[in-house]
A and B are shown apart, each in its own frame.
Chain A
Amino acid sequence: MTERIQKLREQSLQAINTFSAERAILVTDFYKSGEPLKYSIPVQRALCFKYLMTHKSIFINEGELIVGERGPAPKATSTYPEVSLHTLSDLDILDTRPKVSFKVDDATRKLYEEQIIPYWKGKTQRDRIFENLSNEWKQAYEAGVFTEFQEQRAPGHTVAGKKVFQKGMLDFKAEIDAAIKALDFEYDTQTIERREQLKAMDIAADALILFANRYADLLTKLSEEETNAVRKAELVEMSRICRKVPAHAPDTFHEMLQHYWFIHVGVITELNPWDSFNPGRLDQHLYPFYKQELEAGTLNNEWAVELLKSFWVKFNNHPSPPKMGVTAQESNTYTDFSLINLGGVKEDGSDAVNELTYILLDVIEEMRILQPSSMVQISKKNPDRFVKRAVRIVKTGFGQPSFFNTEAIIQQLLSQGKSIINARNGGASGCVETGAFGTEAYILTGYFNLNKVLEITLNNGIDPLTNKQIGVQTLSSEEFKSFEELYNDFEQQLMYFINLKIEGNNIIEKLWGKYMPVPLLSLITEDCIKNGKDYNAGGARYNTSYIQGVGLGSITDNLTAIRKYVFDDKTVSMAYLLQAMKVNFEGYDQLRHDVIYNTPKWGNNDEYADRHAVRVFESFYSSVNGRPTARGGIFRINMLPTTSHVYFGSKIGAMPDGRLAFEPLSEGISPVQGADRKGPTAVIQSAAKIDHIKTGGTLLNQKFSPSFFNSEENIDKIVSLIRSYFKMDGHHIQFNVVDADTLRDAQKHPEKYQDLIVRVAGYSDYFNDLGESLQNEIIRRTAHQA
């Protein structure tokens, strides 16, 4: 790593996350002026964006090669009071909480108290949303049945497609102009709306050019002051580049990175879309520039790496905007989920891995920073060398990259009606979400707590934590005569809450489309210009809204335990089980022991348990999939949690699988923590029983001890494991390397670590079954290897 990159990386790692009021005060000033009232809402939003791009502070970090940030300093994080307004007490919490804090200084607090809060109070998008939602919706939301993504961040999960890298803002402006000229005032009744949207997009394009020119000016000034000849030349070149992109399409490697970065900063300044923004298939987009310049002799590998690393640091300087309330709990991380995609297939279906793919993997390994996240798309057409290279990075233990199945992604997209070209150009973003990059608005609308629905079912529609009737009133669960009766009631409650969630989504999506258009994001997303329609109103070629199911492992084990003890073995009555749950298993140690240690569990390829996972999955799928959305798209499901399994767990009492009250649920489609005792092939066999192709993404985590990665043979075996799962249509798998701390926790909570296997030649044993001194020995060895 060069000294420059070391410094920039260090600066980014050391920077303290701060709460910046700069954007909030600029937006407030803009709206206070009264000027916006003269224009339509889309044009208002575009002018607001232009105002921000004109007035926000700009700066250049020492030595950096890619310029432009959202805040006034690295990790100074903007807020969006027109969307959701932080209160003074939110500021205190953010300032002082131990995890994911944002420092708030006195000047910021004063601005909030005196100007920002008084102006926006009661007038935010969040206020509009909550005013329009029903009491039933609010009750379910407060009980933790579901979360709502769009109540404080804008609809997002959008990834740049190929076009973004091949066109400049002037090209887009020409397209907008043509679209305005083509408006049909005689036969199209929506022309005024379309014209306003297109005008707004045109203003947004200008605003981004203006922003880049400010950087060009600053760079010119700095270059004139610079005494070091090498840096001076860099600054002159950077100034030239900022003068050229994003107005014009990029022609060089450096230009392309800068071009994308200006658009990235624009999108995340315009509003606060979930999952920031994402360059998507970076190795594909960059490769033509790389190859052409390499052949022409204007770029060498060393410089390409230097530029990429400078680019990497920029992502890390942009934490996810500070959230509040429930949303802060469900997504408790600084990560803003820009997920770089590598590998996969080209648009013609051929192997897409190229030299640059490997260079990017080197960059990921060396940078070792939180953002951007990275993933590899593994196609059957990709060479094993590529998969192995990625596995060797996993071995270093920082959780990246994750592994995705290209063929599954393509099948998912095709089954949703996308063209084969759009499908092959797609990938996964955020955590694991499948999307047709550049052409689809695939919006996550909230997590859905499957286990809360079961808890409510077992309590006849009542939430036992509050004693409120929030679900459908049904028979007393003590009267269930069969498992089928119980499951029918569960499906009834499930449909009720899905209906509530969808009713809420339809209201919320309309409000976004009407009040919060995003002209910049729209103009770069195909076919918003052609349709003269905003991204948030359904302007994209494809529109999908997702509801994310959480806790498949937990609900499977819960249903399995009920089935076994109450209905099959009949050794425990429903009343007894409910009583044990009510008192959090206090005094019911034997029952809790039996359900934890002596009951079939999801993740062991045991059909007795696994059939419940498939059944719940199908019930969830059929209650959501294919229903129409307010943006003219359709609803779909995926199975991922971010950190919501922790939040959802905190809203549920003790459950039949022995999980104590308020403890986390299982995440993604992974087994309940530690419940998989038969090794990774059994986990994969279980996981593959649900139909991944029907989803827009599933998440599976697997633990391995670091010593497992020590031999080349074992790395080959991981490659085979991944390939096998993907043959079975698995969507995603991620490997976590177990560290010494995890093992120490396993000593304290053996029931959560039944899956930990210690492998020695010719021998393997469960960590739990080892004596304490041996456990200590393994902990020492693990710590040493790290």
Chain B
Amino acid sequence: MTSVQMNVDGETHSDEVEPRLLLVHYLREFLGKTGTNVGCDTSNCGACTVHLDGRSVKSCTVLAVQADGGDIDTIEGLAEFSSNGDEEAGWHPLQRAFHTEHGLQCGYCTPGMIMAAKDLLSENPDPTEDEVRHGLEGNLCRCTGYVNIVKAVRTAAAEMRGDKVDTEVGA
């Protein structure tokens, strides 16, 4: 067993873990952070995407011990607490845009998709449709056909820039 300590969604956790334990299983099973999902065993689907020190990683490709000392952000830490009872008011623009643009159906890929999109927008605050499609190619969705995911990401990008955006094709 090996000691790890990391900051997850703003809280510090210390645990003794097996060296083989994956970060995603540490999050889910040790910390109860089940907002982050597992969709495959080959690092193809991206459902488990979180941020490690500000960059998106597939948490099934990172050992918990590799994340020792790191800052982890998951979907569960993305929204700000809204004290007035209006939960949506505290949502990140990406969460709001996935809702308004119907960028999710079953919702299983959504946490990973949103975390990957957040990293994409930090690098490219105004991506074209094509840039969003290629920027999210490591995340699989089986429900939406991606059209509304692309729209949601560009809508959120516009909100984050303070712009309006034309999310129609070719814009």
Instruction: Judge: A and B partners, yes or no.
Output: no
